[in-house]
């Protein structure tokens, strides 16, 4: 019933936990497709040490996570396809609750979001559910579905895939395209865990802002604005994506200032101003220099 796609790159120390959480599922009707995205560590041996015929190991030259997830989808056979990031895990009842939800609701082919707990060290925080009474595209755009909490019907992923050009915001890029065309369901059980740690993409990305990553993020949003306007017509406010871009520039600008990355913050400010000049950006300009001089930094 379920195929689970797990992409990984040099994550040998996290894989025993993530794969182990699949092995421990109370519902055993699954296959796990582990896509090794050009790892140079001991990933292959770690995966094969589980010695379970339901686990498929697929290797590809390093092509980033979107291509890895797409390859996993191509090697899967389940009716419903779930995703699991290499440093995340499932609660033992994850697939059973999904199967029960599908049996009870009998959903049309669409996207199912499960509840997810964000865990850092020993502390855990439950993420807010999607409010299906609101405009679902706005909900997904603001609440950021983590791949580990998403399950999509196979028929959808035969036609709609991750965009291999993007390695940041690539998941929301896909969820929004799906949600614009298919039903979205919220399962109200917290059955997935997102583990936050120093080696994670989000933590690393905020610790040192890189212009290439900022540009990648903005390009992904612009792609939906410019190339998919037809599927979003009437489902999002007219200026939604431009305002979304503004908010991301603000996020990165603030973090670059706090990091005292003067040149990076200056370039982000310039790019944001070119996108849409604003009073907010006008007031931010002197802060870039002041933060670089250790003036006006916020407490960490």
Q: Identify which of 147, 121, 143 has the alpha carbon closest to the alpha carbon of residue 131.
A: 143
User: 263 and 139 in one domain?
Assistant: no
Residue 2 has pLDDT above 70, yes or no: yes
Tokens at 268, concatenated? 């982000």
Q: Is residue 217 part of a domain?
A: yes
Residue 296 has pLDDT above 90, yes or no: no
Q: Which residue has the higher pLDDT, 88 or 207?
A: 88
User: 225 and 182 in one domain?
Assistant: no
Q: What is the DSSP letter of 108?
A: P
Binned at pLDDT 50, 70 and 90, residue 119 comes out as confident
The pLDDT of residue 120 is 78
Q: 174 near 161, Cβ under 8 Å? A: yes
The beta strand positions in 16-140, using DSSP E, are 30-37, 55-60, 80-83, 89-90, 111-120, 123-126
How buried is residue 293: exposed, middle or buried, by Cβ count under 10 Å (0-12/13-18/19+)?
A: exposed
Report the chain's mean pLDDT, rounded to a whole number.
Answer: 93
- Tell which of 157, 172, 199 closes a domain: 199
Binned at pLDDT 50, 70 and 90, residue 298 comes out as low
Q: Is residue 53 part of a domain?
A: yes
Q: 34 near 19, Cβ under 8 Å? A: yes
User: 159 and 61 in one domain?
Assistant: yes
User: 239 and 194 in one domain?
Assistant: no
How buried is residue 92: exposed, middle or buried, by Cβ count under 10 Å (0-12/13-18/19+)?
A: middle
User: 238 and 190 in one domain?
Assistant: no
Binned at pLDDT 50, 70 and 90, residue 83 comes out as very high
User: 215 and 191 in one domain?
Assistant: no
Tokens at 276, concatenated? 């849409």
Exposure b/e, 203-240, CB count within 10 A at least 16 = b: eebeeebeeebbebbbebbebbbeeeeebbeeebeeeb
Q: 2 near 29, Cβ under 8 Å? A: yes
User: 285 and 154 in one domain?
Assistant: no
What is the C-alpha to C-alpha distance for residues 84 and 147, in angstroms, rounded to an integer? Answer: 6
> Any idea which of 156-165, 196-205, 239-248 has the lowest mean pLDDT?
196-205
Residue 299 has pLDDT above 60, yes or no: no
Q: Please count the other Cβ atoms lying within 10 Å of the Cβ belonging to residue 164.
A: 15
Q: Is residue 161 part of a domain?
A: yes
Q: Which residue has the higher pLDDT, 130 or 201?
A: 130
Q: Is residue 155 part of a domain?
A: yes
Interval 88-108 mean pLDDT: 97
User: 266 and 235 in one domain?
Assistant: yes
The pLDDT of residue 123 is 67
Q: Identify which of 53, 148, 55 has the alpha carbon closest to the alpha carbon of residue 98.
A: 148
Interval 206-215 mean pLDDT: 92
User: 195 and 216 in one domain?
Assistant: no
Provide the domain limits for residue 241. 208-292
Q: Is residue 165 part of a domain?
A: yes
| Per-residue pLDDT tens digits for 24-81 | 999 999 999 999 999 999 999 999 999 899 999 999 999 999 999 999 999 999 999 9
CATH number at residue 87: 3.90.550.10
User: 251 and 215 in one domain?
Assistant: yes
The pLDDT of residue 150 is 98
The pLDDT of residue 295 is 67
Number of domains in the chain: 2
- Tell which of 148, 180, 199 closes a domain: 199
Residue 228 has pLDDT above 70, yes or no: yes
Q: Identify which of 190, 107, 199, 80 has the alpha carbon closest to the alpha carbon of residue 146.
A: 190
Binned at pLDDT 50, 70 and 90, residue 289 comes out as confident
User: 192 and 235 in one domain?
Assistant: no
User: 267 and 135 in one domain?
Assistant: no
Q: Is residue 299 part of a domain?
A: no
Q: Is residue 300 part of a domain?
A: no
- Tell which of 199, 223, 249 closes a domain: 199
Radius of gyration of the chain (CA): 20
The pLDDT of residue 25 is 98
Q: Is residue 297 part of a domain?
A: no
């Amino acid at each position: 019933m379920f195929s689970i796609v797990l992409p990984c790159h040099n994550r040998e120390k996290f894989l025993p936990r993530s794969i182990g959480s699949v092995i421990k599922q109370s519902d055993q009707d699954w296959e796990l497709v582990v896509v090794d995205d050009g790892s140079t560590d001991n990933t292959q041996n770690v995966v094969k040490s589980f010695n379970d015929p339901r686990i498929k190991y697929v290797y590809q030259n390093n092509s980033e996570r979107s291509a890895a997830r797409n390859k996993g989808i191509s090697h899967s056979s389940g009716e419903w396809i779930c995703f699991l990031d290499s440093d995340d895990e499932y609660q033992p009842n994850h697939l059973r609750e999904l199967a029960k939800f599908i049996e009870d609701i009998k959903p049309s082919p669409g996207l199912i979001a499960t509840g997810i707990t964000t865990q850092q060290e020993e502390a855990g925080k439950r993420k807010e559910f999607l409010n299906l009474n609101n405009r679902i595209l706005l909900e997904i755009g603001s609440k950021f579905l983590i791949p580990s909490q998403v399950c999509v019907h196979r028929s959808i992923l035969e036609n709609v895939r991750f965009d291999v050009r993007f390695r940041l915001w690539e998941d929301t890029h896909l969820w929004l395209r799906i949600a614009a065309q298919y039903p979205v369901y919220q399962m109200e059980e917290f059955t997935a865990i997102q583990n936050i740690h120093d080696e994670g993409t989000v933590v690393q990305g905020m610790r040192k802002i890189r212009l290439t990553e900022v540009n990648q993020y903005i390009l992904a949003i612009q792609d939906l604005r410019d190339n998919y306007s037809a599927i979003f017509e009437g489902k999002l406010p007219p200026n939604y994506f431009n305002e979304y871009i503004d908010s991301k520039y603000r996020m990165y600008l603030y973090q670059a200032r706090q990091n005292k990355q003067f040149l990076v913050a200056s370039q982000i400010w310039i790019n944001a101003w070119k996108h849409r000049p604003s009073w907010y950006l006008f007031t931010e300009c002197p802060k870039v220099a002041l933060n670089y001089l250790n003036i006006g930094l916020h407490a960490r």
